Amino acid sequence: MITLSGIIGSGKSSLTKILSEELGTTAYYEPVKDNPVLPIFYKGNEIAAKKRAAGDAEATNPYAYLLQTFFLNRRFAMIKKAMENDNNVLDRSIYEDEIFMKMNTELGNATQVEYDIYKSLLNNMMEELPLAAHKKSPDLMITIKVSYETMLNRIKKRGRKYEQVELDPSLSDYYHRLLKHYDIWMQEYSYSPLLIIDGDKYDFMANKHDRVTVLETIENKLVELGNLTEADFARYQQKHQEFLQS
């Protein structure tokens, strides 16, 4: 099982699709369109920021805890399902979930009590995961590391209004903080082997050569970990040459 991680707009879902098609595996995507909380969460951030600017130092986003427990529940269910069989790829996982609740607490969008309750729930879920899914952790975690500029460009391309800095300037500080939290998370992650892909350097969505480079970097790692044979890797390399020549 391979899990993807990375900030908003880093290309997790795109690489999940590319990788699952390459390896002939099942892809699991975190639902976005049927998330009833996400749009009102962004609106709640904006309202809370205005209240604090007006002097209400204790103003919080009433939807921050709701959103994170919604995501946590979804991600727990998704990773359990993916772990039932071998050879699956997830575009998001439970392992980076705490980043968002921690940051929302630091920003004043959630209370310390809400964060403590959330973290207790997360820890309980992590303890139950090996029992529920019969697997301790992913075989490989892939993180796509991007800069603020790359993230904004990709956010603009996918066009979700509630993610646009132009429509909500407070998102600029939110995104910069999120990037810093991901840098810390990458240093501290220890549940499985971690492979970091440079999303600024490699445009695996639009550039054929970059796509092949990223795929072969991942496959090399899988060979190293014993999850892919040398023969299979050689077969993929031949396929890549045909792709580049097409």
By CB neighbour count within 10 A (0-12 exposed, 13-18 middle, 19+ buried), where does 89 fall?
Answer: buried
For residue 216, give both structure tokens: 């072969």
Cα gap 107→61, rounded to integer Å? 10
Q: Do the annotations mark residue 84 as ligand-binding?
A: no
Helices (H), the chain: 12-23, 38-53, 64-82, 98-106, 112-133, 148-158, 170-188, 208-225, 230-245
Q: Do the annotations mark residue 172 as ligand-binding?
A: no
The H or E element containing residue 57 is none
Report which DSSP code applies to 54: T
Q: Do the annotations mark residue 157 as ligand-binding?
A: yes
Identify the active-site residue in 34, 56, 86, 91: 91
Q: Do the annotations mark residue 177 as ligand-binding?
A: no
Residue/partner pairs of 183-188 with CB below 8 Å, 24 or more apart: 185/5, 185/96, 185/99, 186/143, 186/145
Number of other CB atoms surrounding residue 129 within 10 Å: 20
Helices (H), 189-229: 208-225
56 among known catalytic residues: no
3-state secondary structure at position 11? coil
Q: Do the annotations mark residue 92 as ligand-binding?
A: yes
Q: Do the annotations mark residue 102 as ligand-binding?
A: no
Q: Do the annotations mark residue 93 as ligand-binding?
A: no
Q: Do the annotations mark residue 98 as ligand-binding?
A: no
Q: Do the annotations mark residue 12 as ligand-binding?
A: yes
Cα gap 222→163, rounded to integer Å? 34
Q: Do the annotations mark residue 5 as ligand-binding?
A: no
Q: Do the annotations mark residue 30 as ligand-binding?
A: yes
Q: Do the annotations mark residue 97 as ligand-binding?
A: yes
Binding-site residue numbers for substrate are 30, 42, 68, 92, 97, 163
Binding-site residue numbers are 6-14, 30, 42, 68, 92, 97, 154-158, 163
Binding-site residue numbers for ATP are 6-14, 154-158
Q: Which residues are catalytic?
A: 91
